[in-house]
Structure 1
Amino acid sequence: MGRTVAERTLAAELDTVRPALTAAYAAELPGARAAVLTRLWRGLVHEPFPWVAARTVGREGVTLLLEDGRRLCGPQSDPWATAVSATGLDLDGVRYDHPAELVVALTVPQGGRLAAELDHSVASLALSRTAPRREAPPVDPWEWEQGETDGHPYHPCCRSRPGFSAAEQLAYAPEHRPVVGLRLAAVEGATVSGEWPSELRDGSTVLIPVHPWQARHVLSGPSGPSGLSGLSGFALRPGPDAHPLLSLRTLDMGGDTHVKTSLTTRLTSTVRDISAYTVTHAVATSEFVERLARRLDGRLHIARTSAAAGAGMADLAALLRESPHVHADSAAGERVVPVAALPALLAPRAAGERLDRVVEFARLALDVCLELLDLGVALEAHGQNLLAVVDAEDRTRRLVYRDLADIRISPARLARHGIAAPPISGRLLNDDPATLRRKVLGSLVTGALGPLAGDAPTLGTILETATRDLAPTADLHALRTQPLPAKALTLMRLDTGGGDLWTVLPHPSADG
């Protein structure tokens, strides 16, 4: 097949800014197409699309009967698998090996938007895979965040970075290991929660860290704002150098401080700006969850949010957090590794040893997350937010959690344990058991344990072994006996509502 629009665009840009990568990029395109097509096929098979009338599973694969009478055929789809399985899909006798071209052919509502995102996801994934592999183990803490090239293991828009040119991806994406020069927006009358540091102040002016992509594309030029919610405006100044982390818009500024910046573009499913609600609630939420985590006897640390600042708009705000790596004893050989990086860390070990390490992590993570859920806090513990403190033998000793912006807190559950609710309001509060379980299980199982397992049989073994001795709760019973909730990641990109949509996946255990 010929190259698509996004593939041609990135190739032309590479010819200009990094011609030495052009051949490597071209070589990575077929694998990137198959990786994204596999993710898309997983969604089509397992999510509730209104235009899929029926699904038939046979020995040869899966057939989707579409409402217009056409048939889409492909291989078996294990919802928990991470390996490539679909190199081509058959739509009424026509084979498609590019996910964007397949979605265009499907002619479904909002398909054009999804096709564009898939096109960009393939092109960006191929570019990400040209990043040089690290020859030696990481030394600096932030280096543990920069080895992942493929993004979300189940999301078809795993590497969609709309608005990022090839040069900008090379300059800002963590897998390319750049040093990013932040900008500082000097804002009079900013909203601040927590203790905003003196080095980010100039008298009464608050200096808010700004990602350079945001400074160029959103806050500068004729389309940028000249005044913010009654403020007198702002000026952009040079800021500190920083290292991008697993989340591209969060960076290590040194001195054990991470900054989460606003990035007004859609990466995978969500526009990555920072709401005024988050600015006003972040510190109080962090302080509350930190106190609650102390009940877990040191098994879980919270990467503390020390301060937040905003200028009255989601495009210009930032959060300051402590580095999760302060919770490791480096003298004892401990490291803090995002769960998304655990597969690469454990890969050199023999299969039996690797499974043992995963089960040890799973037992601790399930124990901590279910205990905290019972108390009244539902963590969104996927592979990016949840980190493992591992020893020299790659055994998980403790956990660290960061980014509390999308947790849920249940005042009713807190009250049952005699715990006063935190001084917050709004969307973080929710007592619905289904919502709380979705938050925990839909992130921990489908966002962390599933990718670590790599397939349904292995995940079933991990869940069965890891939950064997956990304290019985209604949430644990649901985990063991019910289909597992997962975000309908593909359906969400075809929906105009913008909120989370859910599906259920078959339980991976033999008797589930």
Structure 2
Amino acid sequence: MHRSPSAEAEIGEELAAVRPGLSARYADALPGARAAVLTRLWRGLVHDPLPWVAGREAGPEGVVLRLADGRCLRGPVADPYATGDGVTAVGLDGREHADPARLVAELAVPRSAAFAGELGHSVASLALSRAANPDVAGRPVHPKEWPVRDWEWEQRVVDGHPFHPSCRSRPGLSVAEQLAYGPEHRPVVGLGLLPVPVGECLLAGDWPGWLRDGGRVLLPVHPWQEAHVLKRAGGQRLAAHPLMALRTLALPGGPHVKTSLTARLTSSVRDISLGSVAASRTLSELGETVAARTDGLLHVTRTLGAVAAGSPDLAAVLRESPQEYAGAGERVVPVAALATTGLPGVPGWPARLARLALAVGLRLLELGVALEAHGQNLLVVLSPSGEPRRLVYRDLADIRVSPARLARHGIRVPDLPARVVTDDERALRRKLFGSLVAGALAGTVGSGPGLRAALEPAVRELPRTGELAGLCGGPVPAKALTLMRLSPGGAGDRWTELPNPLEVARF
């Protein structure tokens, strides 16, 4: 399902019916939301290898894209690592466009109509998120005000993905459902508990007794999934708090539960494949094994159990809360939330974070595990004063594993799904560098100069390995997020190469 580029008006009308008190703030938030999505889109248009862009010319006044059909796109210089709302208009053949959905519709390239619908929804949902959070968006929080509960950190991420044009696209959710389920709206969500006979389930790990009823498994189900996919309601409920991923929720005082939610959020349908359930415990054990070789700098949240009732539409995974790895006075914070914090008294903390993250990421890459260390999966343990001490990683479903490297380091090679297994050096580096450097770290510092300032001192202190040379000696890989949404089928990763902020290897 895709909304048309008139999603702003549609969401405005729905909002007036279900939460009229937010309507004025929503209208006020729309121009900034358009600029935020347009900034992400322009980054993709400038830096992704789009087949209908015939040439690019960059100068101090901006960038000109010459299209294969003879038209020209003109816009400001596009820092590939910048975040925020910096691009307010882009010109297409002399006509200025402030609305990213209308710009893409006017481009009239393959899949542009569907993508324009996603962008319209992204703008409208982002404006809704900002309207509901005037006290959070853009305001740092200092250590004395730090949230106490894990989900409160996650709820501070109002704008979604820092680089994806579809950063807040939720085309399958009504306004009422966004308010009821979106983490930035701070709801308590009642998960359904669907009884399923054990014999009809694929089980991995130890499914806990408190989620069993005799010979039946009580499978946690997101209420959106109940209403739209399973067409059922009622029964037992489990109160939970949605995390950044929306379909993953924190149980108060307990584990996190990842649910199936077959709506398209950002750009992917969020079900849980049967292969992921089957491999969940094996991946968890591998994560613990390699984390043990980081001298205590990394913890991987354990998968406690996973279950699927014959379909990706009806599955759930239970994981440890990252808070299990916090000591006295410490906080475990998703890296994506760091941009909303203030860390006084910690000079150069982005460089300290970069050194910690690179040390851990490169060590695991050498061992044979490439983490998808974006700002949602990667968390940092902060001291009471804000010093980055250790890392926590969650959700191993999309890592890449090299059997040859594991064997070289004496680590038993487990039986894993084929999609996560590769010995290809380029694929392994893309997974780590694209998520960590072009993703988590860039999103935290918010600019190319900021990323360089964080990376340079970190690189000087790290061991001189081939993987570090690979990071410093060439372009930085990044997912071509705009190309992926404009490609036939729209499935699978596609990549681009970004200018290396280090410019040259600094050994």
* TM-score tier (shorter): over 0.9
CA contact (8 A) 2:300 2:393 kept: yes
Q: Does 1:313 align with 2:304?
A: no
Could you tell me how far apart the structure 1 residues matched to 2:168 and 2:84 are?
16
Q: Does 1:156 align with 2:148?
A: no
Could you tell me how far apart the structure 1 residues matched to 2:392 and 2:129 are?
27
Q: Does 1:95 align with 2:96?
A: yes
Partner of 1:505: 498
Partner of 1:248: 246
Question: Which of these residues, 362, 370, 375, is aligned with residue 378 of structure 1?
Answer: 370
Q: Does 1:445 align with 2:440?
A: no
Matched AA of 1:303: T
SS in structure 2 of the partner of residue 237 of structure 1? coil
Q: Does 1:220 align with 2:231?
A: yes
SS in structure 1 of the partner of residue 236 of structure 2? strand
Q: Does 1:185 align with 2:194?
A: yes
CA contact (8 A) 1:449 1:459 kept: yes
Partner of 2:335: 339
State how many pairs are aligned: 491
Could you tell me how far apart the structure 2 residues matched to 1:337 and 1:67 are?
45
SS in structure 2 of the partner of residue 105 of structure 1? helix
TM-superposition CA deviations, 1:229-263 (whole Å, max 9, x none) = xxxxxx86332100001111100012330000011
Partner of 1:224: none
CA contact (8 A) 1:54 1:64 kept: yes
Could you tell me how far apart the structure 2 residues matched to 1:85 and 1:360 are?
27
Moved more, 246-255 or 378-387: 246-255
TM-superposition CA deviations, 1:120-149 (whole Å, max 9, x none) = 000000000022326953122221111011
CA contact (8 A) 1:379 1:407 kept: yes
TM-superposition CA deviations, 1:439-465 (whole Å, max 9, x none) = 100000011111122111121121111
Question: Which of these residues, 119, 122, 147, is aligned with residue 156 of structure 2?
Answer: 147
Q: Does 1:207 align with 2:218?
A: yes
Partner of 1:470: 462
Could you tell me how far apart the structure 2 residues matched to 1:98 and 1:271 are?
25
Matched AA of 1:28: A
Could you tell me how far apart the structure 2 residues matched to 1:83 and 1:307 are?
38
CA contact (8 A) 2:167 2:266 kept: yes
Matched AA of 2:72: R
Matched AA of 1:336: V
CA contact (8 A) 1:184 1:236 kept: no
Question: Which of these residues, 255, 271, 274, is aligned with residue 273 of structure 1?
Answer: 271
Q: CA deviation at 1:505?
A: 0.2
Could you tell me how far apart the structure 2 residues matched to 1:444 and 1:165 are?
33
Partner of 2:87: 86
Q: CA deviation at 1:288?
A: 1.6
Question: Which of these residues, 460, 464, 478, is aligned with residue 486 of structure 1?
Answer: 478
SS in structure 2 of the partner of residue 95 of structure 1? strand
Could you tell me how far apart the structure 1 residues matched to 2:479 and 2:298 are?
25
Q: CA deviation at 1:492?
A: 0.2
* 1:349-428 matched pairs, under 5 angstroms: 349=344, 353=346, 356-428=348-420
CA contact (8 A) 1:148 1:175 kept: yes
Moved more, 441-450 or 416-425: 416-425
Q: Does 1:264 align with 2:262?
A: yes
Partner of 2:302: 304
SS in structure 2 of the partner of residue 362 of structure 1? helix
SS in structure 2 of the partner of residue 400 of structure 1? strand
Please, which runs of 5 or more residues in structure 1 have no aligned partner? 222-234
CA contact (8 A) 1:210 1:261 kept: yes
Partner of 1:230: none
CA contact (8 A) 2:22 2:132 kept: no
TM-score normalised per structure 2: 0.94
Could you tell me how far apart the structure 1 residues matched to 2:397 and 2:235 are?
28
Matched AA of 2:104: V
Q: Does 1:166 align with 2:175?
A: yes
SS in structure 2 of the partner of residue 54 of structure 1? strand
Please, which runs of 5 or more residues in structure 2 have no aligned partner? none
CA contact (8 A) 1:185 1:236 kept: no
CA contact (8 A) 2:5 2:119 kept: no
Moved more, 481-490 or 200-209: 200-209
SS in structure 2 of the partner of residue 311 of structure 1? strand
Could you tell me how far apart the structure 1 residues matched to 2:484 and 2:344 are?
37
Q: CA deviation at 1:105?
A: 0.4
Q: CA deviation at 1:4?
A: 4.7
CA contact (8 A) 1:186 1:236 kept: no
TM-score normalised per structure 1: 0.93
Q: CA deviation at 1:29?
A: 0.2
Matched AA of 1:478: G
SS in structure 1 of the partner of residue 85 of structure 2? coil
Q: CA deviation at 1:299?
A: 0.6
Q: What is the root-mean-square deviation in Å for CA atoms of aligned residues?
A: 1.5
Q: Does 1:294 align with 2:303?
A: no
Q: CA deviation at 1:424?
A: 2.5
